Structure 1
């Protein structure tokens, strides 16, 4: 398979260039659907059935498996959306400088689509039937928390033994074996407006109340145990000489273990149950929208298999934990052995300096193909 992939490296890069040069931000339905159509055609050419899950607001999701597949044991997850707005490609299209390729979404995760596609082509070229043991889910809204695809991912993951998630490898090549869970909340304060010079005593400052709450919320952080509470965005008031009658804050919460959710939510509710500034009203909206991906017994066992595969093909596999979210949390929370970060190596995702390490493209595609081969041997 390695020879096949080396012979097709230029073709893989051309494929990545093609899809990088299409804007496909999470809210750009037309762009994401264009990516989806390209991928659909490529997989159909390989004998895959493609089910389209249509969406009105976001891009359509794709579910694919080979026409000869029967109850695949492996689910592969990858997303087609990026964080970049329409017009980004015209400002900085795909380019290669030395051993790195640049462009919006090049590593998160358009290069991973080439990895999956060409891993399957490599298996087919070798006459290895591992490609019949996979079900692929490509979603369109991962970068905004997978609001329309989470239920699809969870549905498709049921009954699967292994989940391979195609987020990029870390800069040092590490795979991801655990992720913190994530919650998004909005705290809304209603006060009473008044002129700050003429009759400030008649006002009830929503901003003052919010200030008290921000301090209390940040005190919930327990970094040693993987809990962080961050008020990252605030707004309120109408003018400098008016006691504010409205203020709100966007709160990002991260947890290490599901057991932490109940106590943390109780503390949130307690903070918001009463006001420090008399006469203000408080409401809290939101939820924990991604469970943590925990490094449990099943995941450790899958990691050992992948490390053995790495040893055989000459790649040293390390793993790491990260605070960022991904769809790996959904499969892991269902009890499916899950490893993330199986895409190529790169860095600076979500920025204008995002890059792909080109030498990792063949290497990581070979790793994925060989993992599929090995897991198929264990499940058939």
Structure 2
């Protein structure tokens, strides 16, 4: 494979220099149009899938349009976390051996790296490796619209490789914590704090009791953590508050433990601390934990063998943040993550891409795909 970093950066620039937050459908659509043209150029069939007007399109791309099963599913996301105007404020720039810009490594670099890995792969060209590539539009908000499609496609694939960025230290990702976000609403009764305090029912007092109870559910040893991260409530200092709200973050390694937490929260809602309060528990997002199975361990060994042949030092990380690999792994499909070039600073103005890692990581992915084809 002949590789030109200048050519790669030229192709990366228009993908970074567009506002494509999850709730910016037109920006994600612009990225989708760009990616579609790249894949059509190398003979792949591209199918556009629109699951909601709230977000942009998803892309299902394959070299085997009539296949009932795929040898591998490659996955990435086209959306970022940044608001409109960010791309104009800080477009792609290169400084030494680093590139910077919104979404440069999370995950435009990985989206493009998949195309580079496939375009010169003989096993993909001759059909001995049946590939499906899924690019979704809503990963940064938990993939609420694309999740079912991703899981259904993964179930038709022997394994899943996700091109989120490799860590700055070179590690890939073999496990990820699960996560959930809860909105808990507290309804009380308003009254005058000076003249009729006893007639009121304080939603904030109920929220305070819940905060303490939630803190007691944390199990650091097991890796189950909860955080009451956002709260609001009340209308005035002299009014007993009739409404309050908390947004709670849950992270976990054990999916059964997460369901236990969910049941505990709902049981608390059935028996409020403050008489007269009513509590509503809404689980807004949920990603199951990604844990390696025996088949995943075999896939890890395959990746390590290819890396050793190429003289590329790699390692494996158990990450706290989630990705779409959480969903595919929970569906029973061997899944690994971190196949994009190395980077860091994600979701911040300091986000960076390590340019020296781009070609080696593309070659690693090519080698893994070739080995999968040989394995049959």
For normalisation by structure 1, the TM-score amounts to: 0.95
Is 2:210 the partner of 1:213?
Answer: yes
Q: Which residue does the alignment assign to 2:348?
A: 351
Q: Which residue does the alignment assign to 1:265?
A: 262
Separation in 1, partners of 2:237, 2:349: 36
Q: Which residue does the alignment assign to 1:110?
A: 108
Q: Is the 8 A contact 2:291 2:329 kept in 1?
A: yes
Separation in 2, partners of 1:155, 1:374: 24
CA shift for structure 1 position 132: 4.2
Q: Which residue does the alignment assign to 2:173?
A: 176
Which residue of 25, 28, 32 corresponds with 1:32? Answer: 28
Q: Which residue does the alignment assign to 1:52?
A: 48
Query: For 1:18-77, what per-residue CA distance to the aligned partner results, in whole angstroms no more than 9, with x for missing partners?
Result: 110011000000000000000001101100001111232111111010157743210001
Q: Which residue does the alignment assign to 2:79?
A: 81
Which residue of 229, 246, 250 corresponds with 1:232? Answer: 229
Separation in 2, partners of 1:45, 1:26: 27
For normalisation by structure 2, the TM-score amounts to: 0.96
Stretches of structure 2 that go unaligned for 5 or more consecutive residues are: none
Distance 1:223 1:293, change over 3 A: same
Separation in 2, partners of 1:35, 1:161: 28
Q: Is the 8 A contact 1:237 1:247 kept in 2?
A: yes
Query: For 1:207-260, what per-residue CA distance to the aligned partner results, in whole angstroms no more than 9, with x for missing partners?
Result: 111000011012111121121111111110011221111001111111212222
CA shift for structure 1 position 314: 1.2
Equivalent position SS for 1:221? coil
Q: How many residue pairs align between the two structures?
A: 374
Let me know the Cα RMSD of the aligned residues.
Answer: 1.6
Distance 1:270 1:252, change over 3 A: same
Moved more, 70-79 or 205-214: 70-79
Matches within 5 A, 1:1-380: 1=1, 4-5=2-3, 8-54=4-50, 55-67=52-64, 70=67, 71-124=69-122, 129=126, 132-286=129-283, 289-379=286-376
Stretches of structure 1 that go unaligned for 5 or more consecutive residues are: none
Moved more, 76-85 or 188-197: 188-197
Separation in 2, partners of 1:373, 1:257: 34
CA shift for structure 1 position 276: 1.6
Distance 1:320 1:127, change over 3 A: closer
Equivalent position SS for 1:259? helix
Separation in 2, partners of 1:245, 1:228: 29
CA shift for structure 1 position 266: 2.3
Moved more, 322-331 or 283-292: 283-292
Distance 1:31 1:48, change over 3 A: same
Q: Is the 8 A contact 1:120 1:131 kept in 2?
A: no
Distance 1:287 1:91, change over 3 A: closer
Q: Is the 8 A contact 1:131 1:372 kept in 2?
A: no
Q: Is the 8 A contact 1:348 1:355 kept in 2?
A: yes
CA shift for structure 1 position 361: 0.6
Separation in 2, partners of 1:213, 1:204: 15
Separation in 2, partners of 1:152, 1:14: 31
